[in-house]
Amino acid sequence: DTEVTQTPKHLVMGMTNKKSLKCEQHMGHRAMYWYKQKAKKPPELMFVYSYEKLSINESVPSRFSPECPNSSLLNLHLHALQPEDSALYLCASSQVFAGGSYNEQFFGPGTRLTVL
């Protein structure tokens, strides 16, 4: 299995809602990532988990809350979002080699989020 899956594919939520995005991989990768991608722009890193521990938070607002319950799953909990948070949210995973070296990142198809 060489796939990163993300659910849901599309999500529409109001500014007072609480929702979660889910990402799953079964490649044995121990690094997982959340990216945000606005239209016609490159992906922007939000969070990195390494061995289920948060290793990078790119100064993301607290209304985005990541969680890595095990080595295969990555969640992004959303609360009190703003319309400008509407974007494609991408999950990725990669191996972590000895010495902390990383390898290529495999991306999922993304969740298209619309905040009304």
Partner 1 sequence: GENVEQHPSTLSVQEGDSAVIKCTYSDSASNYFPWYKQELGKGPQLIIDIRSNVGEKKDQRIAVTLNKTAKHFSLHITETQPEDSAVYFCAASKKAAGNKLTFGGGTRVLVKP
Nearest distance from residue 88's CB to partner 1, in Å?
A: 8
Q: Least distance from C-beta 97 to partner 1, angstroms?
A: 10
| Residue nearer to partner 1 on the CB measure, 44 or 52 | 44
Q: Which is nearer to partner 1, 1 or 40 (CB)?
A: 40
Question: Cα–Cα distance between 5 and 26 in angstroms, integer?
Answer: 9
Residues found near partner 1 in the complex (CB under 8 A): 4, 31, 40-45, 48, 50, 55-56, 90, 92, 94, 100-102, 104-110
| Cβ partners under 8 Å of residue 55, min gap 6 | 48, 49
- Whichever of 31 and 115 has its CB closer to partner 1, that residue is 31
Phi, psi of 100 (to 5 degrees): 85, 5
Nearest distance, CB of residue 14 and partner 1, angstroms: 24
Residue with tokens 């289920």: 52
- Cα(20)–Cα(22) distance, rounded to whole angstroms? 7
